[in-house]
Amino acid sequence: MVEFFSEYGLFLAKSVTIVIAIIAVVAGIAVVSSRSRKDGHQGEIEVTHFNDELLDMKEALEDAILDKETLKAMQKEEKKKEKEEKKARKNNPPKEDEPRRKRIYVLDFDGDVKASEVEPFRQEVSAVLMMAEPQDEVVIRLESPGGMVHEYGLASSQIERIKRKEIPLTICVDRVAASGGYMMACLADKLIAAPFAIVGSIGVIAQLPNFHKLLKKNDIDFEVLTAGEYKRTLTVFGENTDKGREKFKEELEETHELFKSFVHEYRDVVDIDKVATGEIWFGKQALDVNLVDELMTSDQYLMDASDESDIFEVRYEQKKTLQDKISDMAADSSDKVLTKWWGRLTRQNIINR
């Protein structure tokens, strides 16, 4: 046991030293890079043709599964079909007023508490709106457990831009779209969820610790000076009052009412008083109370649509600065070091036992 604690202490000391060294290097690089950083968007739009990806996967499976004779016959048949289609297009060129093939633009939103994805998301929406037409469709694969009201309000506003252009909008939820995530999802013309996806949680929550009693016990004063009766209702270090709590609760209720009104505006088929209790609903349950329109994964929806549409996945990729690249390298290095030493420590502990 003594050897275990000795080894554990050595492990901690080395780990802390390495982490401090990495932080120092990264901080130094951050200072240098911040001086030379230019204003403006440092990123670019990347587009992937979903139909081609499906075709590549199909061909890879055919190469692995089918025998050479069968594969050769299939390839011969496909070439013959392509030749016939090319000849048909040449003999019957499309008319100017003939509608083109539908395009589906696919965007991803993976939300956290601060809705950090809203920055690349707004760029993706802008790019799509420059090309999309009412005959097309936008599909958003949405994943979010919710978070800050104002951040998710901005994210929802980006989706509203699509609706104002009158472009059909489908939102797919494979795992979770709760609280602020559902605020975004309810904007869809068609809302699809996987059978066990979590949706709903139409409620508002706020929580904070209070250290006033601890400070008072140690004779530490903390003063909060405000101008305006309700500038600060609850505080972490000051003494909270019943009046402050009542006002804070009142503000939460007002926010909840706004949330309920927003959902009801875009999904008037729901019984808002029944579903706006803060509860979560799994896919099948959500369908029963009209929180979603259909049960299906995003993969199935896009595969089904690929026969009649050209599907393009659109993503805004932020260009990594030198600081970002070195930060990633530092994080990877520290993870590897910690994993190595933890494995060594664990093996040593097993041997000692």
Catalytic residues: 179, 231
Bridge partners of residue 198, in order along the sequence:
176, 282
Strand-pairing partners, residue 140, are 107, 171
The DSSP H or E segment spanning 336 is helix 322-352
Instruction: Give the helix ranges, DSSP H, for 289-321.
Output: 298-305
Quote the CA–CA distance of 256 and 261 in Å, as a whole number. 9
Helix (H) or strand (E) holding 176: strand 176-178
3-class secondary structure, 247: helix
Q: Which residues pair with 40 in a beta bridge?
A: none
**Dist CA 205 CA 212 (whole Å):** 22
- Strand order from edge to edge, sheet including 198-200: 176-178, 198-200, 280-282
Residue 321 · residue 34 · CB < 8 Å: no
In this structure, is the dihedral angle defined by the CA atoms of residues 151, 152, 153 and 155, taken in order, positive or negative?
positive
The arrangement of strands across the sheet holding 137-143 comes to 43-49, 309-318, 102-110, 137-143, 169-173, 190-193, 294-295
- Alpha-carbon distance of 221 to 206, in angstroms, equals 26
Which H or E element spans position 35? helix 2-36
Q: Are 175 and 141 in contact (CB under 8 A)?
A: no
Q: Which two tokens stand for residue 224?
A: 């909060």
Bridge partners, residue 172, by sequence: 141, 192
Per-position DSSP letters for 37-57, written without gaps between them: PPSS--EEEEEEEHHHHHHHH
Joined together, the tokens standing for residue 323 give: 């600081």
